[in-house]
Structure 1
Amino acid sequence: MRAGAALAVALALLALGCVPAPVLPETRVDGVRIVEQERAGERGQSLSVLSRALGRETPVRVLLPRGWTPGSGPWPVLYLLHGCCGASHLGWVEEGGAERLTDGLPAIVVVPEGGRVGFYSDWVRGPQWETFHIEELIPLIEAEFGAGPDRAVAGLSMGGLGAMVYAARHPGLFRAAASFSGVLDTTGDGSGVRRLLRENGEDPAALWGEPDGQAWEAHNPARLAARLGGVPLYVSCGDGRPGPLDPPGATADFEGALLRQAAVFAERARAAGAQVTTDFYGAGTHTWPYWERALERALPMLRAALGA
């Protein structure tokens, strides 16, 4: 129920002499607020957040840790970022096992929307995803759910780019970052970002402008790796051949190209002094079973970095 409708119901009940449950005020952080909130499963909260940066409402799923109560905290936070091209932000919950894998994690898990091909960036002409996630959502989660300053971020494919870019562009904001089959080197647009934008009805120049321009450099994980010295990182990727988690008859895909990008990124991050754990597991395609396994394998490192 939206906050305005809840208030109207409360006033009507008062007029009838009834005593309704208290109406909570809308959460407001720098012009951002939760306009709708519903329980989703045993630990989940499904939010609709009005964002000034996006100019619209956008969905966010929050998984609360066991023992969480209103006013408790500060809690560590793990942000999970989704991939591109129509993949729902709820993929981590519905296909990636996030609720099961984090069941014993004493931390809040936040699964935000990042746009069909948002690439976790403030577009040159378009949505401001980075501003929403960093400047709006983080303070909102702190104010509403008692989140603290210990944060980690992980993502798959496009979300792998987002995790590493956010960690590099905002030093000290995240204590660790993880990429699973991530887009980690866009030099020369080897990742096909512009093609993906065109295929999804977007103007490629509206994201970062012309390829290898300043904005491209500023959002290329391989170029930003030098900023990640001292940050614990987890990087995993397959080689695109059908592997043990693929169904019979599966064929090879483009995961191998992402593996080459991951190797370049990991080498540069290590040279910068980052603590890099790699899992280049060989056979495996660009599919959910591998990302679910990757999250499970990465969680001990992420948990340790969070002090959880």
Structure 2
Amino acid sequence: MRWAGAIAGALVFAASLPAVPVAVAEGARITGIEHVNDRWDKVSVFSPSMNKVIVNDVFKAGRGGAPTFYLLPGIDGGDNLDPGGMWAPGTKSWFGMADIAGFFADKNVNVVSPLGGQFSWFTDWVADPGKQYQTYMTRELPPLIDAEYDTNGRNAVGGLSSTGGTAVDYAVQAPGVYRAVGSYSGLLTPAANPQQVSITLMGGGASADAMWGPAGGPLWVAHDPSLNVAKLRGVAVYVAASGSGNVGAVDRLPPGFGPNITGGLIERIVADSTRVFADNAAAAGIPVTYVVRPDGSHTWGLFESEMQESWNTTIGPALRA
């Protein structure tokens, strides 16, 4: 494990940030709440920017006045995209693949994870009005959660794989909304890796040009966390990936699974991307928590472990500060 940046410095900056109230976007509203159990709700929210309803898993804090930790889904939006898979819709998600209830049971925080957004990168698209997820996550959803669950207005956000860089980008695009961000094996250098973005989106029949315009254009630069590190000053940042991409105990794969060739390849790509981001942050004097895991092959086991570590080292302290 290798650390770069100053954790303490990041937390000092985060502590200086007041909670920034976000006005409810006109037309955004909660349309229904399903109580799964005493701590777990499924909250349906109408997004005016996309003209559709988004379902959000919510693990409720034990008492009012708590902060909120948002967790973005991966490229599949929480649904199974693997032929022959056994996951029901909406269960290949943070609440279905990670022990959210167990880990956060004794922590006074609301945990919210939107579902859907397949092949969207969870950002705003220039040529698809049905994909305006940055607007949803920075203007529409947080104020509704704040009002419904009596929060203290302090927010953090984390993302995995395709949405890891997006979570960090939210702090760049909407200053003050998120005081802490986490990237779990995410791509933090999209402008330098447009082919990786394009290949990922093509898996769902989507075009990267429809997202941020032609590769190399101004929106690719504007949404690249590694090129906008100076805008993260004052935000507590956690970024991590496995340096080897090798299968390890952290992956929690079945015995005899064998090498995870595709996952290992992806993990090594995002590890290099995460290193570039951390180096750029260090050069700019921006403190971040940067972790290189010894093993892990781009699996839910790795993502969950990174998320828990981010809470313990960076996000939890920033939200409590």
| TM-score interval, normalised by the smaller of the two chains | 0.7 to 0.9
Which deviations, in whole Å up to 9, do the C-alpha atoms of 1:171-224 show, x marking residues without a partner?
Answer: 222211111101111134356111222220123311011001011111111112
1:260 and 1:29 map into 2 onto residues whose CA distance is 37
Which deviations, in whole Å up to 9, do the C-alpha atoms of 1:123-174 show, x marking residues without a partner?
Answer: 0011211111111101111122112221111111122112100012222222
Q: Secondary structure at the match of 1:87?
A: coil
- 1:177-196 → structure 2 map (5 Å cutoff): 177-190=181-194, 192-196=196-200
- 1:204-219 → structure 2 map (5 Å cutoff): 204-219=208-223
- Check whether the contact 1:179–1:236 (CA below 8 A) recurs between aligned residues: yes
1:53 and 1:190 map into 2 onto residues whose CA distance is 26
- Check whether the contact 1:236–1:278 (CA below 8 A) recurs between aligned residues: yes
When residues 56 and 64 of structure 1 are mapped into structure 2, their CA distance, relative to the original with a 3 A threshold, is same
Q: Secondary structure at the match of 2:228?
A: helix
Q: Which of residues 103, 111, 114 is equivalent to 1:112?
A: 114
Q: Which moved more, 1:83-92 or 1:197-206?
A: 83-92
Tell me the TM-score normalised to structure 1 length.
0.84
Q: Secondary structure at the match of 1:31?
A: coil
2:294 and 2:31 map into 1 onto residues whose CA distance is 45
Report how many residues are paired.
276
Gaps of 5+ in 2: 1-23, 80-89
Q: Which of residues 147, 154, 158 is equivalent to 1:154?
A: 158
When residues 256 and 103 of structure 1 are mapped into structure 2, their CA distance, relative to the original with a 3 A threshold, is same
Gaps of 5+ in 1: 1-27
1:209 and 1:302 map into 2 onto residues whose CA distance is 33
1:274 aligned partner, one-letter code = I
Q: Which of residues 76, 82, 107 is equivalent to 2:73?
A: 82
- Larger relative CO (CA 8 A, sep 6+): 1 or 2? 2
Instruction: Find out whether 1:243 has 2:248 as its counterpart.
Output: yes
1:114 and 1:161 map into 2 onto residues whose CA distance is 18
- Check whether the contact 2:76–2:116 (CA below 8 A) recurs between aligned residues: no
Q: CA deviation at 1:79?
A: 0.8
1:250 and 1:42 map into 2 onto residues whose CA distance is 40
| Structure 1 counterpart of 2:87 | none
- Identity, % of aligned pairs? 33
2:153 and 2:78 map into 1 onto residues whose CA distance is 29
Q: Secondary structure at the match of 1:147?
A: coil
Structure index of larger Rg = 1
- Check whether the contact 2:250–2:295 (CA below 8 A) recurs between aligned residues: no
| Structure 2 counterpart of 1:137 | 141
Q: Which of residues 46, 50, 63 is equivalent to 1:50?
A: 46
- 1:88-103 → structure 2 map (5 Å cutoff): 88=79, 90=91, 91-103=93-105
1:220 aligned partner, one-letter code = D
- Check whether the contact 2:156–2:178 (CA below 8 A) recurs between aligned residues: yes
- Check whether the contact 1:229–1:269 (CA below 8 A) recurs between aligned residues: no
| Structure 1 counterpart of 2:86 | none
Instruction: Find out whether 1:264 has 2:264 as its counterpart.
Output: no
